[in-house]
Chains A and B, each alone.
Chain A
Amino acid sequence: MRKKLLLAVGLLLAGLALALSGTEVMQKVAAQPRPTTMHGKMEMRLVDKHGRELTRVLETWSKQEGDVEKKLIKFLAPADVKGTSFLVISRNGQDEMKLYLPALKRVRRIAGGQKKGSFMGSDFSYDDISNLGKIEVDDYENKLLREEELNGAKTYVVEARPKAGVDSSYDKQILWVRADDFVPVQIEFYQKGKLVKVMTLDQVQKFAGGKYLMPTHMVMENVKSKHKTELTMSDLELDVDIPDSVFSERFMKR
């Protein structure tokens, strides 16, 4: 009996020693190697609760240089929005966002409310799109809620709340992070304490000989409206040379 008790205490202590905190889980997520540049195509399929679909096809370029992150998105389809482009330059947490509308032949600065609004009718906001794959561990209070199995994989469930003064579209996110490779596979987004959207990253592929793990298919679903947006990445090129001139008003118009 005493032996069993000692064994149980021993296992519990070993378990405690091995368990990670929420911050540690998120640090491991953030520590995943990420490409400094990325170029590829993105197909957005907007599906309403009746199953009716609209499709947008985008070409994206992104580049990370120290604290500066640049992202350019160009619409290739449908025809009525073709040529529209969206530029985000993030410096020290401040986003500079511009939109080029070919009908007007002007680049418009956009700000504020639009960042939190829908990105071209999708369930992703401008902020969601510009923050895809970006983890700022220090901006959040991270708490490990539990460990659970999701789709056959062991996951850490972490609650991330933005710290005071951090500009975030959401007051809470709950992330399911795969325990074996620390890739988030599901994220719940909360506003005013209520669950508003759920993003599922259901396809994660290895690139550059396994150096990078990148989500290539994700679904964002609006919990209330039952509307969802499927995002599929294709033709991905990582760590390719993308000149700074791509992230410019000049290239937006081209």
Chain B
Amino acid sequence: MKRILVLLVAFGLAAAEGVDIGGSVKSNFGVRFSDLGVLEQSAALELNFKYDLADASLFASASLSPAGARLGETGATLYLGDFDLSAGNLLLSSGRTDLFSPLDAFNPRDLSVPLNKPSEQKIPVWALALNYYVADTQISLFASPTFTPSRPPAGLWAVPAHLPPGVIEVETSVPAQTIDNAVVGGRVSSTFAVLDGLDVGATAIYGFTPFPQAKGMTYLSSKDTDANPANGPFRLELGYDRRFLLGADFALAFSIPDVVEGLILRGEGAYAFLPDSAGNNPFAANPWAEGVLELEYTWPADGPHLIALFDTRWEKADAPAPDQLIPRLGAMVNYDYGERLSLSAAWLQNLHDGSGLLRPALSYTFADGVTGELGLHWLYGSAASQFGVWSQNSGLSASLTYSF
């Protein structure tokens, strides 16, 4: 109700002079090949408004769909000399790489449909962000007083849960909404005249793991039928561990004389400090590290635009299991055939478990602001693998969007 009220307020303000209002109507339909079942059918109305004053701007967005109303990015920014101060339900961005961006970790994600665009998966959170600009350097500090968990894949995308033997109940504890559970972070980024241009950045975020992990098992004596505590039944308790994420990123533009011109090399590296650095405690999260390198190139004269990437993630395992190293390869290619038709394809391959995703798509602009998309997604690999777990959901999807 409160969210709908915000929506109405947005409409009311839209009537005021100087308010910039816009939005989109989007419908999606998807079918999966395995049983020709409907994978997705949705429609949503999104409204955005922005009101710019001399030293401030107000902004709000909300979406309405059959599933309900949802508040999007909403808040205000004050421009105070070299400082910007934003407050509200915010989306913040850090890092530079595309498909995998371990540093872009401030906002939780809505992975209920894991194949949605990464930019659509970010969930805005109530936060305060202060940016300071000096010459070619930007320093950012941000904090969210409350913790918002990410949403795991749901519905047909839900991953089968493998509960330990004897577990009949699962209970998840979310960190209390107290100031000592605030999520805080900072970022410094700067630009240098190196080769054809270099941007570097460093990010630190003190927050929580996005998804819960096992925190303990409680024996449920009142529900025991064989009077043997070793067999359970148990309640599995899940919780979120504190995580300190530290990392750096860069983007370097360069050319190889007489060979190739206009390459962009981007990279990100992050290390997550978690409570169980030695992997001795099965009820505490273990550290991980991830590094991504991607190379971007656009063929001259309106040729295709290619991003090739290599991602490696190391995860500390609980003893005595060996640590895991998960290398992944990816590529994205995009080709604009004129101003209306755009062809694209994305491929991801997990070299650790052999699973992958192939996703060709085309989009067509029918008129200003009216765009249709048709895409195929083929997920392959074993049922226990990263992408193969959804192989039954390989299919076709279509969408139509009107932006105004």
Binding site for B on A (CB under 8 A): 46, 48, 54-55, 77-80, 82, 94, 96, 103-106, 108-118, 120-122, 191, 225, 227, 245, 248-250, 254
B368 touches A109 (CB 8 A): no
B369 touches A114 (CB 8 A): no
Size of the chain B interface, CB-CB below 8 angstroms: 46
Looking across the interface, which residue of chain B has its beta carbon closest to that of A245?
A: B133
Residues of B within 8 A of A112 (CB): 196, 253, 255, 260-264, 297-298, 300
B403 within 8 A of A: yes
Q: What CA separation (Å) do A249 and B368 show in the bound complex? A: 27
A114 touches B262 (CB 8 A): yes
B336 touches A118 (CB 8 A): yes
B338 within 8 A of A: yes
Which among B138, B196, B264 is the interface contact of A250 at CB below 8 angstroms? B138
**Chain B min CB distance to A235 (Å):** 16
A80 touches B196 (CB 8 A): no
B253 touches A113 (CB 8 A): no
**Chain B min CB distance to A86 (Å):** 15
Looking across the interface, which residue of chain A has its beta carbon closest to that of B260?
A: A112
**Chain A min CB distance to B363 (Å):** 10
Q: Mark B23-40, 1 if CB is under 8 A from A, else 0.
A: 110000000000000000
Q: What CA separation (Å) do A95 and B369 show in the bound complex? A: 31
Q: What CA separation (Å) do A116 and B404 show in the bound complex? A: 30
B371 touches A109 (CB 8 A): no
B343 within 8 A of A: no
Q: What CA separation (Å) do A120 and B404 show in the bound complex? A: 18
Chain B contact residues: helix, strand, loop or mixed: strand
B197 within 8 A of A: yes
Apart from A105-B93, A112-B298, A120-B339, what 11 extra A-B contacts exist at CB < 8 Å?
A48-B339, A54-B339, A54-B365, A55-B368, A103-B117, A105-B92, A112-B253, A115-B262, A117-B301, A245-B133, A254-B79
Which among A78, A111, A122, A227 is the interface contact of B264 at CB below 8 angstroms? A111
**Chain A min CB distance to B77 (Å):** 8
Looking across the interface, which residue of chain B has its beta carbon closest to that of A250?
A: B133
Q: What CA separation (Å) do A111 and B199 show in the bound complex? A: 13
B302 within 8 A of A: yes
Interface centre among A78, A112, A117, A254 (most CB of B within 10 A): A112
A113 touches B338 (CB 8 A): no
B303 within 8 A of A: yes
Residues of B within 8 A of A111 (CB): 196-197, 253, 255, 262-264
Residues of A within 8 A of B91 (CB): 105
A77 touches B368 (CB 8 A): yes
Residues of A within 8 A of B255 (CB): 111-112
Which among A80, A106, A113 is the interface contact of B401 at CB below 8 angstroms? A80
Residues of B within 8 A of A191 (CB): 301
**Chain A min CB distance to B365 (Å):** 7
Looking across the interface, which residue of chain B has its beta carbon closest to that of A46?
A: B339
B369 touches A121 (CB 8 A): no
Looking across the interface, which residue of chain A has its beta carbon closest to that of B342?
A: A121
Interface centre among B261, B262, B297, B299 (most CB of A within 10 A): B262
B70 within 8 A of A: no
**Chain B min CB distance to A103 (Å):** 5
Q: What CA separation (Å) do A103 and B367 show in the bound complex? A: 20
Contact A48-B338, Cβ < 8 Å, known A78-B369, A109-B197: yes
A116 touches B93 (CB 8 A): no
What are 26 A-B pairs with beta-carbon distances under 8 A?
Answer: A48-B338, A48-B339, A54-B340, A77-B368, A78-B368, A79-B23, A79-B368, A80-B401, A80-B403, A82-B22, A94-B196, A96-B197, A103-B117, A106-B96, A109-B199, A111-B253, A111-B263, A112-B260, A112-B262, A113-B262, A113-B298, A117-B300, A117-B302, A121-B339, A250-B84, A254-B57
